[in-house]
Amino acid sequence: MKLSPFLLSMASCCLCFSACGLFKATKPPTSQAPVPPEGPKLIGRIASIPADKRFVLIQSYGKWNIESGGILTTRGPNDRSANLRTTGESLGEFAAADLQSGVVEVGDAVYSQPIVKSPALLITPEVPQAQLKQTSENVQKNN
């Protein structure tokens, strides 16, 4: 089979032009702030409840990074739930939290809802406009 010069030139042009598509410049990925998870995050379970039931000990499933005063929620069987406020006291994988409302039992799941901080709105202060000075003539009357 003999190749004609026309077919040979067409094939080389096709290879040449399609090869240019392989060398497209790629944009470097832009670094954006990590997006916090949308829903609550499972952070631990209720490990123990002292007799007075005013606070609970939470066994965390990972590194404890909830600041003091943070709000946590618990979920148990039969739609049982409670709100907890962290005290800032922790020892190893255990942390204390005050019971704010609801009913808890040992083994209930503890969730943290991340607080999304909205970007600060740029508010320009109102600039008072210059008030027009009313010129009044001081006229003294001599009577």
Q: Does the residue 68 lie in any domain?
A: yes
108 Cβ partners below 8 Å, 6+ apart? 45, 46, 74, 75, 76, 80, 82
User: What is the rounded CA–CA span in Å between residue 75 and residue 83?
Assistant: 9
For 78-121, the pLDDT digits (tens) are 889 999 999 988 888 999 999 999 999 999 999 987 766 655 55
**Residues spanned by the domain of 53:** 41-112
Q: Is residue 93 domain-resident?
A: yes
Examine residue 57 and state whether it is found in any structural domain, yes or no: yes
The CATH number of whichever domain residue 81 belongs to comes to: 2.40.10.170
CA dihedral 88, 90, 93, 98 (to 10 degrees): -60
Would residue 47 count as lying in a domain?
Answer: yes
pLDDT tens-digit series, residues 19-77: 555 566 666 666 666 655 577 889 999 999 988 778 899 999 888 777 888 889 999 99
Task: Classify residue 25: in a domain, yes or no.
Answer: no
CA 42 to centroid of chain Cα atoms: 16
Domain assignment present for residue 137? The answer is no
pTM for this model (two decimals): 0.55
